[in-house]
């Protein structure tokens, strides 16, 4: 990272400020599982809302969907997941640890963490075996008559199996898309790296159905569009890159895939994949279900199986990228300050209201009234505990763009101080117009003040 942000610093801030906790911590934690606290929830909601706005609200050609986590088991046979959604694993007979064969060069040897598995004399690795990543479960109370099922490992298949419903009922003609945000589950065996890779996570996936001849054009369009989305919400351009997959990396369904990668503290890693899935999925479900998934023009009778372009992003990885990119340590007036320079539309809290002298009922009364006015329109926080400097630091660490301070002068001239998280500029404004000033500033275009 250009500005020396380590994963440890992010994990520590996320925990200290209640963004993310290790899951089931009182039982010793569960590898690759995390729980989101108050600010983590608010921030995750912002990530999803910005994605849905860009995908659905700001466009005329994409509609929303919320499909089930547990689908008919045949969906996963037809999609190729039962047979092929696997990772190659190797076991070490000596240290009894398990590694992903394709991640050996990023893994630590169980006995000598400074080496990679296979590099010490004691390492005794098995041949690679394929391990299916889907979590299995059973539908039905009676074990013998129950039906084996899976927790979805991606949200995309729920979209494909609803293609006909949406195409008919929403009367859509390709090119059109279906967008979905929801949980997905994968029995990942590579632990670590915080919320980058977890057993359950949320995906933001959109399947864009296009006339076959236009597939390449839309594939390129969506790579550009998605890259722009990250930049629009404050990720620095130099920390993003597009990496086209090599032919031997491509999934069974894909005729072209590019990853948008972010320079995480663990190195360049996938943030989102954009795949040209061709007609693989619609054909596979047509064959397996007997229902023709194609587009038919009711007027001319023209019919074709659309090709599909899929931008597939992860909510949790995106949140991690926002945390990493915004994390800043600096010294202000000889004192260290940690601040999340988050885009105001991503920041969990937009404004804090701080009474300077908490013992004064006049001051807290004015502050409370202002807070109540503000929280009707934005996520606001009221904080009257501790010294003002500590309260500012707390808001800086959760990335709150503005703080309004009410003090003795407020009682004299009805003004408050507005403090800008990024510039640290403080100016007095009339309390009567404070709400409008905050809304106005939040709506302004924002670019990170962090150096490129
Ligand atoms: P990776 O190669 O990192 O395992 P993938 O190529 O299998 O990812 P996709 O199937 O393309 O991932 O899923 C789309 C997006 O979902 C990813 O870009 C990522 O943001 C997110 N994602 C996938 N697996 C996980 C996971 N285990 N934990 C968190 N996010 C995930």
DSSP string, 77-120: HHTTHHHH-EEEEEEBTTT--EEEGGGGGGSPPSS-TTS-TT-S
DSSP conformational letter for 372: H
pLDDT digits (tens, 9 = 90+) for 142-157: 767 778 899 999 999 9
Residue whose Cα lies nearest atom 16 of ligand 1: it is 314
Length of the chain: 452
Residue whose Cα lies nearest atom 13 of ligand 1: it is 312
* pLDDT number for residue 187: 94
CA–centroid distance, residue 308 to ligand 1 (Å) = 19
Position 191 confidence tier, pLDDT thresholds 50, 70, 90: low
CA–centroid distance, residue 34 to ligand 1 (Å) = 16
- HSE-up of 415 (CA within 13 Å, CB side)? 8
Q: What is the mean pLDDT of the chain?
A: 94
CA–centroid distance, residue 314 to ligand 1 (Å) = 6
d(CA 118, CA 128): 13
d(CA 157, CA 163): 10
DSSP conformational letter for 287: H
Q: What is the CA radius of gyration of the chain?
A: 25
CA 224 to chain CA centroid, Å, is 18
Residue whose Cα lies nearest atom 12 of ligand 1: it is 273
Asked if the bond preceding 175 is cis, omega within 30° of 0, the reply is yes
Backbone angles phi, psi at 220, to 5 degrees: -65, -40
d(CA 275, CA 147): 32
* pLDDT number for residue 186: 96
* pLDDT number for residue 3: 65
Q: Evaluate the CA torsion angle 253, 259, 260, 263 in order and state its sign.
A: positive
Residue in 20, 131, 273 to alter for ligand 1 test, most ligand atoms within 8 A of Cβ:
273
User: Please, what's the b/e burial string for 95-128 (b: 16 or more CB within 10 A of its CB; e: otherwise)?
Assistant: bebbbbbeebeebebbeeeeebbeebeebebeeb
d(CA 357, CA 363): 7
Residue whose token pair is 């933001």: 204
Residue whose token pair is 């070490």: 92
pLDDT digits (tens, 9 = 90+) for 344-401: 999 999 999 999 998 889 999 999 999 999 999 999 999 999 999 999 999 999 999 9
In the predicted model, is pLDDT for residue 265 greater than 80? Answer: yes
Sorted by sequence, the CB contacts under 8 Å of residue 8 that are 6+ apart come out as: none
* Strand, coil or helix: 213: helix
In the predicted model, is pLDDT for residue 111 greater than 90? Answer: no
Structure pTM?
0.93
CA–centroid distance, residue 53 to ligand 1 (Å) = 22
The token duo for 269 is 């890693």
Average the pLDDT over each of 139-143, 145-149, 425-429 and give the range with the smallest value: 139-143
pLDDT digits (tens, 9 = 90+) for 203-233: 999 999 999 999 999 999 999 999 999 999 9
Let me know: does 308 contact 406? Beta carbons within 8 Å: no
CA–centroid distance, residue 395 to ligand 1 (Å) = 31
**Cα–Cα nearest to 219, from 246, 172, 258, 179:** 258
Ligand 1: residues within 6 Å at CB?
154, 186, 188, 197-198, 201, 203, 270-273, 312-314, 316-317
User: Which ligand 1 atom lies nearest to the CA of residue 199?
Assistant: 27
Residue whose Cα lies nearest atom 24 of ligand 1: it is 197
Segment 299-306 long-range contacts (CB within 8 Å, at least 24 positions apart): 304/211, 304/212, 305/212, 305/279, 306/174, 306/209, 306/210, 306/211, 306/212, 306/279, 306/282
d(CA 356, CA 7): 35
Let me know: does 307 contact 163? Beta carbons within 8 Å: no
- Which of residues 341 and 131 earns the better pLDDT score? 341
User: Which ligand 1 atom lies nearest to the CA of residue 188?
Assistant: 27
d(CA 451, CA 45): 28
Residue whose Cα lies nearest atom 29 of ligand 1: it is 197
The burial class, CB within 10 Å (0-12 / 13-18 / 19+), for 326 is buried
Residue 1: CB atoms within 10 Å: 15
pLDDT digits (tens, 9 = 90+) for 78-110: 999 999 898 889 989 999 888 888 888 888 888
Residue in 179, 268, 317 to alter for ligand 1 test, most ligand atoms within 8 A of Cβ:
317
* pLDDT number for residue 1: 46
Residue 299 to residues 296, 302, 303, 305: CA-CA distances in angstroms?
9, 8, 11, 17
The token duo for 49 is 């809302």
CA–centroid distance, residue 136 to ligand 1 (Å) = 19
């Amino acid at each position: 990272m250009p500005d020396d942000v380590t994963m440890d610093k992010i994990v520590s801030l996320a925990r200290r400020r209640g963004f993310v906790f290790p899951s089931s911590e009182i039982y010793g934690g569960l590898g690759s599982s995390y729980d989101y606290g108050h600010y983590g929830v608010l921030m995750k909601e912002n990530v999803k809302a910005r994605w849905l706005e860009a995908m659905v609200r700001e466009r005329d050609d994409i509609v929303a969907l919320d499909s089930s986590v547990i689908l008919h088991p045949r969906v996963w046979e037809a999609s190729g997941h039962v047979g092929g959604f696997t990772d190659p694993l190797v076991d070490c007979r000596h240290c009894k640890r398990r590694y992903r064969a394709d991640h050996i060069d990023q893994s630590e040897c169980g006995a000598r963490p400074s080496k990679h598995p296979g590099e010490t004399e004691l390492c005794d690795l098995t041949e690679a075996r394929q391990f299916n990543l889907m979590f299995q479960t059973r539908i039905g109370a009676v074990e013998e008559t129950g039906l084996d099922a899976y927790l979805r490992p991606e949200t995309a298949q729920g979209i494909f199996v609803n293609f006909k419903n949406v195409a008919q009922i929403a009367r859509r003609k390709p090119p059109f898309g279906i967008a979905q945000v929801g949980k997905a589950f994968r029995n990942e065996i590579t632990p670590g790296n915080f919320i980058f890779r977890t057993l359950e996570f949320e995906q933001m996936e959109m399947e864009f159905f296009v006339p076959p001849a236009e597939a390449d054009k839309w594939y390129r369009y969506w790579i550009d569009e998605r890259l722009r989305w990250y930049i629009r919400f404050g990720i620095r351009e130099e920390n993003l890159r597009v990496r086209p997959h090599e032919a031997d990396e491509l999934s069974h369904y894909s005729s072209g895939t590019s990853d948008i990668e972010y320079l995480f503290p663990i190195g360049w890693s996938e943030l989102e994949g954009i795949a040209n899935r061709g007609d693989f999925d619609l054909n596979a479900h047509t064959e397996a279900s007997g229902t023709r998934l194609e587009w038919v023009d009711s007027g001319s009778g023209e019919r074709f199986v659309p090709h599909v372009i899929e931008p597939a992003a992860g909510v949790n990885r995106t949140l991690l990228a926002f945390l990493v990119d915004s994390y800043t340590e600096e010294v202000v007036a000889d004192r260290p300050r940690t601040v999340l320079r988050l885009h105001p539309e991503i920041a969990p809290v937009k404004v804090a209201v701080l009474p300077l002298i908490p013992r004064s009922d006049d001051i807290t009364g004015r502050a409370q009234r202002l807070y109540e006015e503000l929280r009707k329109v934005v996520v606001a926080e009221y904080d009257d505990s501790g010294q003002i400097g500590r309260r500012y630091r707390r808001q800086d660490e959760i990335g709150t763009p503005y703080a309004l301070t009410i003090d003795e002068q407020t009682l004299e001239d009805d003004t408050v101080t507005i403090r800008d998280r990024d510039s640290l500029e403080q100016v007095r404004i009339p309390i009567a117009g404070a709400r409008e000033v905050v809304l106005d500033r939040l709506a302004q275009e924002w670019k990170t003040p962090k150096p490129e």
